[in-house]
Amino acid sequence: MLEKEDQREFQEKLLRWYRHNHRKLPWRETQDPYKIWVSEIMLQQTTVQTVLPYYRNWLKQFPDIQTLSQAPLQTVLKAWEGLGYYQRAKNLHRASKIIVEKHQGQIPQNYETLQSLPGFGPYTTAAVLSFAFNKPYPVMDGNIRRVGMRLKGLQMEAKPSVDKQLKPFLTSLFLPRKSSDFNQSFMELGALVCRPQNPSCLLCPLQKFCQAFRSGTQELIPQPKKMNLQKIQAVLGIIKKDHCFLIQKRPSQGLMADLWEFPGGKIKEGETREEALHREIKEELGSRIQKEKCLTRVTHSYTQFRVTLHAFECELKEKPVLNPQTHRWVTLSEFENYPFPSGSVKVIQCLKKRYSPQK
């Protein structure tokens, strides 16, 4: 902890730097808790540049909690398509319904009540309470955690358990009633100055208080996480009837729940792509296939795994077993009405190029 005198200097330097250097972002120009909540959910694991157009479209489509709570889930997922981690959109939707039904459409200001809503973990709860209501909670995102770890010289991985050490330190630096500015300043400093690589320590207002800078260990903090990116190979069947393509809905639980996809699945060990395609279509639609022809191959990286999708055009030999709740024949333009995982969106782009009428 810093001495009183140093604390004051720390606070003044940080807030002055923020006033002169922060980026103008739409969610910083508002005190509306709903807009702040939406931005915080979108910004999880996603860059500001990616989020900006989604955020603007979202607020056009769902300008307030009431509108969001009344929208069909499929419309909500479509607005989220491409942002990934679709559970975030489902939780926004579920929480909006609870807020309207139980809290008169007002986002609760009590920590425990707010944290009990779907999608409100410790991070989002602290962020909404701090940014919208100026409540004194440190918002432990990756940027703040990194700045805090470097200030304290903690040479370890940026695990959530580190937060136990950082929270009392950061809280001791808060100015009463300036919680929002304080959290925003730390975050912005982490994004613009105290970056993961090549931090600009010579421009940093907190240099004097930074143990990592003093010991020259800033680039070693935090230590990198050990990641094992799983690689998945999968096949998809592009089945066409007249001008329509067959798609199916994923289950409501698990990975990419409630999104739509083409029939198909993972290639098993020892299987060729064609064998996997025959097996998957038989299992999923109860029909054998013929005339399979590789249409395209796309790769997409998610956080935990990297998937390569081999899309085959093929014909069904028998009448498929379809469930009207979970299967649809859709035209090229109707793809727009259904939310798909990002890998499938790339396949759809390929289909549009192939089948759109030449202009």
Annotated catalytic sites, by residue? 40
Does residue number 134 form part of the binding site for ligand SF4 (CB under 6 A)? no
Q: Which of 7, 46, 134, 207 binds ligand SF4 (CB under 6 A)?
A: 207
Backbone angles phi, psi at 176, to 5 degrees: -55, 140
Nearer to ligand SF4, 139 or 314 (CB): 139
How many CB atoms are closer than 10 A to CB 36? 23
- Binding span for ligand SF4 by CB under 6 A among 32-40, 71-79, 130-138, 194-202: 194-202
Does residue number 170 form part of the binding site for ligand SF4 (CB under 6 A)? no
Say if CB 44 and CB 122 are below 8 A apart. Answer: no
What's the closest the beta carbon of residue 226 comes to ligand SF4, in angstroms?
Answer: 23
Q: Which of 150, 199, 197 is nearest to 170 (CA)?
A: 150
Does residue number 150 form part of the binding site for ligand SF4 (CB under 6 A)? yes
Per-residue exposure over 238-271, b if at least 16 CB sit within 10 Å of its own CB, e if not: bbeeeeebbbbbbeeeeebebbbbbbbbebeeeb
Give the 3-state secondary structure percentages of the chain, helix then strand then coil, rounded to 5: 50, 15, 35
Backbone angles phi, psi at 87, to 5 degrees: -60, -30
What's the closest the beta carbon of residue 254 comes to ligand SF4, in angstroms?
Answer: 40
Cis bond leading into 33, ω under 30°? no
Considering only residues 292 to 351 of the shown chain, the ones binding ligand SF4 according to CB under 6 A are none
Q: Which of 100, 201, 332, 345 binds ligand SF4 (CB under 6 A)?
A: 201
- Binding span for ligand SF4 by CB under 6 A among 60-68, 154-162, 202-210, 289-297: 202-210
Nearer to ligand SF4, 52 or 201 (CB): 201
Does residue number 147 form part of the binding site for ligand SF4 (CB under 6 A)? yes
How many residues bind to ligand SF4 according to rule CB under 6 A? 14
How far apart CA 244 and CA 22 sit, in angstroms, is 49
Q: Which of 151, 259, 289, 316 binds ligand SF4 (CB under 6 A)?
A: 151
Instruction: Name the maximum alpha-carbon separation found in the chain.
Output: 81
Does residue number 193 form part of the binding site for ligand SF4 (CB under 6 A)? yes
- Binding span for ligand SF4 by CB under 6 A among 126-134, 171-179, 193-201, 310-318: 193-201
Does residue number 199 form part of the binding site for ligand SF4 (CB under 6 A)? yes
Q: Which of 268, 315, 309 is nearest to 289 (CA)?
A: 315
Distance of CA 107 to the CA centre of its chain: 21
End-to-end CA distance of the chain: 68
Nearer to ligand SF4, 136 or 196 (CB): 196
Does residue number 204 form part of the binding site for ligand SF4 (CB under 6 A)? yes
Does residue number 210 form part of the binding site for ligand SF4 (CB under 6 A)? yes
What's the closest the beta carbon of residue 270 comes to ligand SF4, in angstroms?
Answer: 50
What's the closest the beta carbon of residue 279 comes to ligand SF4, in angstroms?
Answer: 53
Distance of CA 39 to the CA centre of its chain: 11
3-state class of 287 per DSSP? Answer: coil
Nearer to ligand SF4, 199 or 222 (CB): 199
Distance of CA 22 to the CA centre of its chain: 23
Considering only residues 212 to 241 of the shown chain, the ones binding ligand SF4 according to CB under 6 A are 212-213, 218
User: Which chain residues interact with ligand SF4 by CB under 6 A?
Assistant: 147, 150-151, 193-194, 199, 201, 204, 206-207, 210, 212-213, 218
